[in-house]
Amino acid sequence: MITRTLGTSGLEVSAIGLGCMGLSHGYGPAVEDQDGIALVRAAVDQGVTFFDTAQMYGPFTNEELVGRALAPVRDDVVIATKFGFSFDGSRSTGLNSRPEHIRATVEDSLRRLGVDSIDLLYQHRVDPDVPIEEVAGAVRGLVEAGKVKHFGLSEAGMDIIRRAHAVQPVAALQSEYSLWWREPEERILPTLLELGIALVPFSPMGKGFLTGSISSTTSFDDSDLRGSLPRFTEEARAANQALVDLLSAVAARKGATNAQIALAWLLAQHPWIVPIPGTTKVHRLRENIGAADIELSPEDLKEITETADRIDVSGDRYPAHMQRWINR
C-alpha cells in the first residue's frame, strides 16, 4: 500500500483508509465482534494503516471494537476518532462541544480504544453554540497534555476551518466527497490547499450507490440510514443511475470495478486526499484497497469529470433534521 501525508501535519497514512462505522452503526445490524475484529485485522494485513471511528458509532461500541482489533499493532497504525455529541446512556441527545465535555469524553475514548494518545481527533460536527476558538483551544490543551496528536474537523465550512486552524493547526478535514457529491470543489478544496490541510472523504462511493450494487428496487433494513435519505428514494436512485453507468463503462475498459474507479478518481484529484471507504466484507476490502493501483490517464480523468459535470444528481444528501448539523 502506498502512503500519503495528511497535509503539512507530517502524519503519514495508507493512501486508502478504513471507515469502521458500518461495522457497528448506520448500515444495518452491527456485525458480530469477532467478524469486525477479523475485518480490521485483514485490513492491517493488506497494508491499511489509517482507521476511522467515533464516539457516536454504536454509540461507543465501535471505538471498543477498533481498540481491541488494533491493540496488537497499535504502534504501526493511525487511529482517528471524534467528539461532539452528548449522550443519555447509549442515545445521542445532540451536539455538545463545550471544552469540559470534550476533555471528559476524550478520556472515555482513550479508555475504550485502549490507547494513551489519539492520533487524530476530529470535531464530529460544528457546534453553533460553542465558538470554534474554544473548541480548538480545548484540543490544543489535549495536544499539550500528550493525549491527542493531531486535530481535525468534520463537515466544517471555510470560515470555521480558518478560525480553528489559527488556534490549533488542523491536520485534516473529514467531509463527504465523491463523484455524486462534489460541493467541496468550489470553496473547501482551495482553502485546504492554501492552509496545508488534508481531505479525508467519507462515503467516497456514495454510501455504496456508485458501486452498482444498489438499484432503484433495492430495499433497506430498518436500521440502515440510507432508507431515510432523500438521495436514496426509489425515484432518486433511478435518476442517478447515469453516474453508475459512467463508472461501469470506464471500469470495463480498465479491467476494474466501479468502486475502484470511483476511488481512483478521488485519489487523482490531489495527493493529500485520503478516502476511507467502509465495508463489512473482506473481499470488498481487498477490492477497495486495489484502487490504489489503478492508473487513470489524463484522458480517463477528463472523460469521467466532464461526463459527471453533465449529470444532475437527484435528491438531497440528508433530510432536514440532519442538514442542520452541516456547517457551510
Q: Give the catalytic positions in this structure.
A: 57
Pairing of strands 3-5, 12-14: antiparallel
Distance between CA 162 and CA 78 in Å, rounded?
A: 25
The amino acid at 218: T
Half-sphere exposure of 313 (CA within 13 A, CB side): 20
CA distances from 36 to 150, 281, 287 (A): 26, 9, 17
Distance between CA 248 and CA 244 in Å, rounded?
A: 6
Q: Are 156 and 97 in contact (CB under 8 A)?
A: no
Which stretches of the chain are assigned E, i.e. beta strand?
Answer: 3-5, 12-14, 18-19, 50-52, 78-83, 85-88, 91-95, 118-123, 148-154, 170-176, 198-202
Residues in the chain: 328
Radius of gyration of the chain (CA): 19
Q: Which three cell numbers stand for residue 25?
A: 452503526
Helix (H, G, I), strand (E, B), or coil: what is residue 174?
A: strand
Half-sphere exposure of 103 (CA within 13 A, CB side): 12
